[in-house]
Structure 1
Amino acid sequence: MLEQPMLDVQATYVPSVIYRPILPSDLDVLEQIHAKLFPIRYEREFFLNVVNGHGIVSWAAVDIGLNSQSDELIGFVTTRVIAAHDSEIEDLLTSDASRKDATLVYILTLGVVERYRNHGIAGSLVREVTKYASSMTNCRAVYLHVIAYNQPAINFYQKMQFKLIRKLHKFYYIKGRHYDAYLFVYYVNGGRSPCSPLDVLSTAATYIKGLLKLLATKLWKKAEKKSPRWSKCKESSTLLLTQNKRIIGSDNTICQCV
């Protein structure tokens, strides 16, 4: 995914914005905006899939104007729902989150027309995505890529509570040059990284438990060495299993050799 830097452009016009799915009537404008905002060229098939909802879930930010008569596309976000086990971030999910029916939402493109920036439109579009992901009980995360030189976009996603997980070397190839990318993840519905604080605490608790068990075993063996070799016989009507051997008397008395 690529995002245009969000510049500090002073705007005097305050738009009346609504959010809706991208429609077939948005096709030409959507294609034009992508061409202006992004350094890579998207095929016509991509836009047809977006406007017709073929494997892509999208939201449009639309300025309806002062009289609610116009319907101008000023921003958009496009996403795809994929199976967690087919994704590149399966290793970044806990075993529960990467189960067979778990899904993820991948943000393909996000953009806002320059003169409409600094009105919170990009944030609202991303919130539509995270809300949608949260509504699917089997969805565990929203994720995306940001080209490494796009610092405004990096700052934006960190502000939106996305976690910067890893750097991908030479992820993009644009106009004959390679560019690194950053992978961002926003966990939903209990999805989390295997290295989340909860998992760290769980691992620490398991380690301490094992340590205490080992210590208890050592203390027991130490006390055992100090005790008489033959323990006092106890009468019992039940046959007890022992580590080494058992001696059974005619009166069903069992003496255990420990």
Structure 2
Amino acid sequence: MVIHISEHGQNIVYRPIRPSDREALEAMHAALFPIRYEPEFFLNVVNGHDIVSWAAVDRSRPDGNDDEIIGFVTVRVMIATENEIGDILGYGSSRTNQTLVYILTLGVAEQYRNLGIASSLVQEVIKYASSLPECKAVYLHVIDYNESAILFYKKMNFRCLRRLPSFYYINSQHFDAYLYVYYVNGGRSPQSALDFVVAVTTYLRGIFTSWATRLWKREQKIPGWSKCKKATSFFNLNRMIKSTNNRGCQHV
């Protein structure tokens, strides 16, 4: 159990979701999301069947409902090799024991927003994921028009990995989604083809520049070269280096 005192004096406590929270949890999901969740989902949440969850409650409420949830987050631990997202994140091939934590739902009651509750709930998820040695990332999907959620995850240092066309189908209409990820336990972003080309080009450019510098120094030491010869050699080397730089830019 984690206790947090908000700037407005609320005594916010974070605890696991319990079976007694089911009714309030269903009501909050219905109010907050355009997607309707099946009863089985809520049964799995409140009973901890393959879903880990946290609730936020306000212990300072004067109406006697100081254990009623005002915010929640639900997550599932996924085996990277059993999920196509593992391939996108770069963890779905070699090591079969790697896992990912997927944020299923996150919500806060309207009257308790902008108090840091959502941030605290996500921090609980990150701490949980970090405690799993084989977990490499926390990830989630955000519908493309939810600008406030997109801004929130950016502030939480989640990285937008890609846009997924027609990911959601709501009210007979398709919507794109953004895939956001937060890496833990040494996890890192998969290297794109462009990143590889840039790295190789930079490496080759460094080798050529080093070779050209050594060649120029050797020429400086050779007696009997005319000034014209030296000037021509220096000009050619510069031209060769500039040509290599241009080719590098074209690769990028």
Per the normalisation by structure 2, the TM-score is 0.72
**Worse overlay, 112-121 or 58-67:** 58-67
SS in 1 for 2:84: coil
SS in 2 for 1:89: helix
* Root-mean-square deviation over aligned CA pairs: 3.0
Residues 133 and 207 of structure 1: CA distance in aligned 2, closer, same or farther (over 3 Å)? same
For 1:86-165, what aligned pairs fall within 5 Å after superposition? 86-94=82-90, 99-165=95-161
Give the equivalent residue in structure 2 for 1:37.
32
Relative contact order, higher structure (CA 8 A, sep 6+): 1
Give the equivalent residue in structure 1 for 2:59.
64
Give the equivalent residue in structure 2 for 1:173.
169
Report the residue type matching 2:172 in the other structure: G
Residues 102 and 112 of structure 1: CA distance in aligned 2, closer, same or farther (over 3 Å)? same
Structure 1 residue 138: deviation in Å?
Answer: 0.3
Total equivalences in the alignment: 202
Greater helix share, structure number: 2
Structure 1 residue 201: deviation in Å?
Answer: 11
Greater radius of gyration (CA): 1
Report the residue type matching 1:135 in the other structure: S
Residues 205 and 102 of structure 1: CA distance in aligned 2, closer, same or farther (over 3 Å)? farther
Structure 1 residue 210: deviation in Å?
Answer: 11
Give the equivalent residue in structure 2 for 1:25.
20
Gap runs ≥5 in structure 2: 1-6, 216-252
The answer as to whether partners of 1:146 and 1:182 remain within 8 angstroms in 2 is: yes
Structure 1 residue 40: deviation in Å?
Answer: 1.1
* Structure 1 position 193 matched with structure 2 position 192: no
The answer as to whether partners of 2:80 and 2:91 remain within 8 angstroms in 1 is: no
SS in 2 for 1:125: helix
The answer as to whether partners of 2:55 and 2:69 remain within 8 angstroms in 1 is: yes
Structure 1 residue 16: deviation in Å?
Answer: 1.3
Q: Percent of pairs identical after alignment? A: 61
Gap runs ≥5 in structure 1: 1-11, 220-258
Residues 86 and 117 of structure 1: CA distance in aligned 2, closer, same or farther (over 3 Å)? same
Give the equivalent residue in structure 1 for 2:235.
none
